[in-house]
Amino acid sequence: MMGMRKQLCTAVLLSLGALAGRAQVIPPAAQNRSIITTDAVQYLFPEQVSVPAGKPSPVTLHFRVAQGLHINSHTPSDEFLIPTDFSIPDGIGVRLGAATYPPGTIILLAFDPKTKLSVYTGEFDIQARIIATPGNHLVQGKLHYQACDQNQCMPPKTISVPIDVIGK
């Protein structure tokens, strides 16, 4: 009986010790996963979603535009401007049914105060309705955007939006 208690105590101690140790050591890579660094726009989260298989399910994707920059909204004010657009490549078990974009913030830039621009700055969300087949799918969504600041513009860019989609 005593021996059993000792073994039990040892097991509890070892388990707690292991848990404590695991909580302290956070590999840098694991922390970085929650923020995907890009030039002008970062994908923030979610990293993983569970959705009912075969049913259109809403997933809110969170992004951040770097300070001092803006990107065109999904409905820019000028035909030449490149809209922000989210897509999911075909053939990976997850399909994009539709995407709902936030309305852009209207801004005027010092160099051209007559022209109103519809843009995203700071954090913004895109609501994607996805349809997943059963199973785990590592989706590499794509966000296409074009960023500027007050005086200059960066070329259009497409960044990856990695999401682990579990269809149940």
Partner 1 sequence: MRRNTIVLIAVLFILAIFAWAGWANWEYRKQAAEKLLSGAGQGELVPAPGGDAMNYVSPLDGKPAPNFALENLSGSKVSLASYKGKAVMINFWATWCGPCKVETPWIVELRDKYAAQGFEVLGVDTEGDDLQASDKAGWAKAETNANKFVTEMKVPYPVLLDGDSISRDYGGLDDLPASFFVDRSGKVVAASVGLTSESDIEGKIKKALTE
Among 14-22, 86-94, 97-105, 128-136, the segment contacting partner 1 (CB under 8 A):
14-22
CB 162 within 8 A of CB 43: yes
Burial 119-148 (b: 16+ CB within 10 A, else e): bbbeebebebbbbbeeeebebebebebbbb
Q: Does 21 bind partner 1 (CB under 8 A)?
A: yes
Compose the 148-167 pattern: x for residues touching partner 1 by CB under 8 A, - for all others. Answer: xx-xxxxxxxx---------
- Please, what is the minimum distance in Å from the beta carbon of residue 115 to partner 1? 7
CB 77 within 8 A of CB 116: yes
Q: Identify the sign of the CA torsion 68, 81, 60, 87.
A: negative
CA distance 14 to 59: 40
Q: Does 82 bind partner 1 (CB under 8 A)?
A: yes
Please select the residue that binds partner 1; options are 51, 59, 61, 69, rule is CB under 8 A. Answer: 69
Please select the residue that binds partner 1; options are 11, 13, 108, 138, rule is CB under 8 A. Answer: 13
Please select the residue that binds partner 1; options are 42, 87, 121, 127, rule is CB under 8 A. Answer: 42
- Rounded to the nearest 10°, the torsion over CA 95, 93, 131, 168 is -160
CA distance 124 to 49: 19
Q: Does 4 bind partner 1 (CB under 8 A)?
A: no
Within 10 angstroms of residue 63's Cβ, the number of other Cβ atoms is: 24
CA distance 131 to 128: 10
Among 53-61, 98-106, 132-140, 145-153, the segment contacting partner 1 (CB under 8 A):
145-153
Comparison of 26 and 91: residue with beta carbon closer to partner 1: 26
Judged by CB under 8 A, the chain residues 120 through 139 that form the site for partner 1 are: none
Binding site for partner 1 (CB under 8 A): 9, 12-13, 16-17, 19-21, 23-24, 26, 28, 31-32, 34-35, 37, 39-40, 42, 64, 66-69, 80-82, 109, 111-112, 115, 117, 144, 146-149, 151-158
